[in-house]
Each structure stands twice: as structure tokens, then as C-alpha cells.
């Protein structure tokens, strides 16, 4: 998660006609003017004396979140309000809403902001698209934000242990009346969430980006934004906060893994949960049920006796996505292989309710390749009897056996089969095309995506 599209001061000056006033940072990074009206001022407020580090920097539109962490543009309703009904709409705004949504989805965020500055009419129409997802820092939790009622996705970009334990951020989200997805950058285990609750939020993402953190040097806080450290002159040290120096965690020298447990979020009613780089190890004899319907885990690990099926004790889980990157050695472990082959010893949970499964491997070493075989495919179908969508990417396969595998593929309920397979450099290209044609012939009810990549 990087913040590559930040505000360019030259772009701010370019749009100066809107702003002899205070600015906030929004969609794609462009800064927009706020009003001089005292009722709409964005004055910085103090959370707690030890927590005040520096004046709030900006509120930014979140273009850096992963695509799978963003809500679709279709979720956003246009806001059309004209104080003068007799004023004719611009021809562009007369296009049917569903077509406009498709067009706006293809527009670069910076261009969307540029368009919103052309007239009041365009700005009113584009407000929900510009402010539907934003990013803030811990220091801005208490800031007055004029368009908070439009925000559907909110991301905290900086790590702050003191903020996690001493500031109830979820209690401050009430003003975001449409908030659906909350993303938190955290370098710690998730046990601090045991003391928090929220009954309205639908999706929660916990990730860790060490380039967005705080460094304490001589009583001043140096903000590491990945592009170089910037010293805040008026700062206070944060007691007990984790510190990154040179990319290494010095506030937590134990080197222990970041632990996650469903018990930590039992006071949340989230139906979509996304976890990055966590370790699971809660005991099977402590069954924890949840309302999670969509579970996505990136580079997460677990140990005996834990099994992934413990996420589905309540049989609510419909979607399970696993992604491993940067040569994660866990994919070679016994625990992961047992998960793939359905050899888990746990009898507490199963995946009878699962509709969609995705297992993706990225940037592997050749010797680490997972081989896709007929046995493995049959395990997936037997382990997940209700499966309708299967996505496998980064798996290795021999093209000579590819057609044989799927020719013996027993009848199934799959409506979507998405395969991106690694093949030898000297593979027979014709075999791949023939296999794709055979799949469409044998299983006309299944939408097939088959792509071969030379390893």
C-alpha cells in the first residue's frame, strides 16, 4: 500500500481561484478549498495532550488502497441539487446515471477533481465520487470534516500504537454516517481491538505499511512517508509508541509475529474481513463464531492446532481468498499443505457454506511452485461442496497433462473457473488452447478463463 499520488503544490496553485481559504486534501491528492464560514471551518482539535504530535496535515482521497479493498463506483449515488431549478443541466450530466457511473469509473482521480473545479454544477454532481473514499492520519481523527457524510471508505495511513490503545477511534466514526469499510495501518497484534466495538461498519481491513510511521528523535517526531523523513517542529513524544529507524522496528524488539484472533473482533458485526501478515493460533477448544461472510488473507500464517475452518464455525463464510507473495516460505509448511489437501485434524469447522475460493501465489522461486494436479482439483470440489467459483493463479502445471487433468474432471457446480498457470518455456501452446476449448465444450455452464505464463 503506497501513497504514490500525493498532492502537488503546483496543482494547488493552478486551482487557486477556489481558495483564499483553508485547504484539505482529497481525491487523487489535489487540495481543495474550504469555506471561511466558522460553521464549516476545519479547525484542528486536540485528542489528548500526550497524543498531540503536530497540526493535522491533510485529508486525502485514497487512491493507494488495493483494488480489492475499494468499494465499486456503482455503490455511489450521484448528488444533484440545484438551488435554481430553472438552470439547465450540462449535457454531460443528462447522460443516464448507469452510463455516467461507467464513464466516471474510467476517469483518473486527478482528472475527476479537475472536472469538479470547472463549475458548481459539476462539483455538486461529483462530490460523492470524490469523497467516497479518503485517507487520514491518527492526528486527524477529531478534525471537523465537512463532507464526512459522503465517505464510504476510510483509511488510517500511519502506524500509532498509542493511538490504538488510548484513542477509541471507532467511537469517533459516528459522523461518517455512510461508512462501510475501515482500513487501519497497524504494526501490532490485533488484541487492542478487544476493547473497541462497532455495530454499523460492514468491512474491516488490518494491514501494515512500515513506510508510514513515526520516528522520535530528540523529543521531535520525524514522519517517515517513504519519500524521506520530515521533522515536525512543534511536536510531543508519544509514550510507548513503536519507532521505525532505517526500515527496522525498534519499538518492538522481540520480533514476535503479529497475532490475530476472531475473539479480538467479537464486538464488531463486520461481514468482510481482510488481514495482512498476521499469525493465527487461537485454540480449537475456544470456539469463536463470527458474522464474517468474505474473508481475505494476505501472507498470513498459522500453527497447529489452528485450522482455517475455525473462521467458519457459524457457517456464514461465502468467500475465501488467500494470497501469498514475496517468496513467503509458509507455502512450503506442513500446515499449509494440510490445508490444501484437506488433511486438517480439526473437527470443529468445515467449508460447506463456501461459494468462492481463490488461492494466488505471487513472485515465487521456481522450486517453491505449487503443482496443480487432478487430485488437487478433486480435493477442492470435495472439500467445498457448494463451490461455484474457483480462482487459482501462480500454480505450476505440465501442459502435456493439462488436458488429461480436465478431461477427468468430474461433474461440478462451478460457474466460474479462473486459472492463471505457470508452464515451462518450451510448452506446447496448442495444448493450452485445446484445453480451453475442451472445457467450454464439456462444461458449457462454466465460464472459463485459462491463461498460461512461462515460468
> Cα-flanking dihedrals φ and ψ of residue 246, to 5°?
60, 30
| Predicted local confidence at residue 76, as pLDDT | 54
Give the side-chain half-sphere CA count within 13 A for 22. 18
- pLDDT tens profile 58-84: 455 565 555 444 444 445 555 444 445
Q: Which three cell numbers stand for residue 334?
A: 506442513
| Predicted local confidence at residue 214, as pLDDT | 54
Q: Which three cell numbers stand for residue 123?
A: 462539483
Residue 375 clears pLDDT 90, i.e. is over it: no
Instruction: State mean pLDDT over 116-122.
Output: 89
What percent of the chain shows pLDDT beyond 90? 27
- pLDDT tens profile 300-343: 999 988 889 889 888 899 999 999 987 788 998 999 999 998 77
Residue bearing the bigger pLDDT, 1 or 385: 385
The interaxial angle of helices 109-116 and 120-130, nearest 10 deg, is 150
Residue bearing the bigger pLDDT, 48 or 434: 434
Q: Which of 27-31, 321-325, 352-356, 426-430 has the lowest mean pLDDT?
A: 27-31
The structural domains of the chain, with segments of one domain joined by +, span: 293-455
Residues 331 and 134: their CA atoms lie apart, in Å, by: 34
| Predicted local confidence at residue 140, as pLDDT | 87
| Predicted local confidence at residue 213, as pLDDT | 62
Q: Sorting pLDDT into bands at 50, 70 and 90, what band is 405?
A: confident
CATH of segment(s) 293-455: 3.80.10
Residue 278 clears pLDDT 50, i.e. is over it: yes
Got the DSSP string for 84-124? -TTSPPPGGGGS-HHHHHHHHHHS-HHHHHHHHTS-HHHHH
Residues 383 and 307: their CA atoms lie apart, in Å, by: 14
Instruction: State mean pLDDT over 413-442.
Output: 85
| Predicted local confidence at residue 246, as pLDDT | 31
Is residue 260 classed as helix, strand or coil in its secondary structure?
strand
| Predicted local confidence at residue 62, as pLDDT | 62
**pTM for the whole thing?**
0.75
Amino acid at each position: 500500500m503506497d501513497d504514490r499520488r500525493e498532492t502537488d503544490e503546483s496543482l494547488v496553485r493552478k486551482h487557486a481561484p477556489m481558495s483564499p481559504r483553508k485547504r484539505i486534501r482529497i481525491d487523487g491528492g489535489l487540495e481543495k478549498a474550504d469555506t471561511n464560514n466558522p460553521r464549516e471551518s476545519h479547525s484542528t482539535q486536540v485528542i489528548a495532550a500526550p497524543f498531540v504530535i503536530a497540526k493535522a496535515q491533510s485529508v486525502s482521497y485514497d487512491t493507494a488502497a488495493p483494488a480489492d479493498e475499494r468499494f465499486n463506483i456503482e455503490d455511489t449515488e450521484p448528488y444533484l441539487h440545484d438551488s435554481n431549478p430553472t438552470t439547465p443541466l450540462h449535457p454531460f450530466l443528462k447522460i443516464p446515471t448507469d452510463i455516467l457511473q461507467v464513464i466516471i469509473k474510467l476517469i483518473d482521480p486527478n482528472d475527476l477533481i479537475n472536472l469538479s473545479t470547472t463549475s458548481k454544477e459539476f462539483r455538486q454532481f461529483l462530490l460523492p465520487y470524490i469523497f467516497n473514499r479518503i485517507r487520514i492520519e491518527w492526528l486527524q481523527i477529531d478534525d471537523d470534516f465537512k463532507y464526512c457524510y459522503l465517505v464510504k471508505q476510510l483509511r488510517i495511513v500511519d502506524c500509532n500504537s498509542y493511538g490504538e490503545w488510548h484513542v477509541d477511534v471507532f467511537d469517533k466514526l459516528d459522523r461518517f454516517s455512510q461508512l462501510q469499510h475501515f482500513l487501519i495501518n497497524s504494526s501490532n497484534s490485533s488484541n487492542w481491538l478487544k476493547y473497541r466495538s462497532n455495530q454499523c461498519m460492514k468491512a474491516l481491513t488490518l494491514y501494515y505499511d512500515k513506510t508510514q510511521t513515526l520516528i522520535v528523535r530528540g523529543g521531535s517526531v520525524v514522519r517517515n512517508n517513504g519519500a524521506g523523513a520530515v521533522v515536525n517542529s512543534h511536536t510531543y513524544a508519544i509514550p510507548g509508541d513503536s519507532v521505525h529507524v532505517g526500515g527496522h522496528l525498534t519499538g518492538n524488539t522481540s520480533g514476535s509475529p503479529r497475532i490475530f484472533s476472531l475473539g479480538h473482533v467479537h464486538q464488531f458485526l463486520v461481514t468482510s474481513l481482510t488481514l495482512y501478515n498476521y499469525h493465527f493460533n487461537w485454540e480449537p477448544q475456544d470456539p469463536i463464531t463470527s458474522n464474517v461472510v468474505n474473508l481475505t488473507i494476505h501472507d498470513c500464517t498459522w500453527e497447529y492446532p489452528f485450522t482455517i475452518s475455525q473462521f467458519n464455525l457459524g457457517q456464514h463464510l461465502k468467500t475465501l481468498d488467500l494470497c501469498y507473495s514475496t517468496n513467503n516460505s509458509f507455502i512450503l509448511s506442513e500446515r499449509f499443505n494440510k490445508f490444501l489437501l484437506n488433511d486438517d485434524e480439526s473437527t470443529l469447522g468445515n467449508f460447506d457454506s463456501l461459494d468462492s475460493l481463490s488461492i494466488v501465489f505471487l513472485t515465487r522461486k521456481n522450486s517453491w511452485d505449487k503443482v496443480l494436479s487432478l487430485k488437487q482439483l478433486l480435493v477442492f470440489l470435495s472439500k467445498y461442496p457448494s463451490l461455484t467459483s474457483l480462482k487459482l493463479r501462480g500454480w505450476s502445471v505440465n501442459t502435456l497433462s493439462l488436458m488429461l487433468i480436465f478431461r477427468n474432471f468430474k461433474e461440478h457446480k462451478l460457474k466460474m473457473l479462473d486459472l492463471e498457470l505457470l508452464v515451462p518455456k518450451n510448452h506446447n501452446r496448442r495444448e493450452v488452447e485445446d484445453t480451453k476449448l475442451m472445457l467450454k465444450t464439456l462444461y458449457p455452464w462454466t465460464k472459463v478463463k485459462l491463461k498460461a505464463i512461462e515460468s
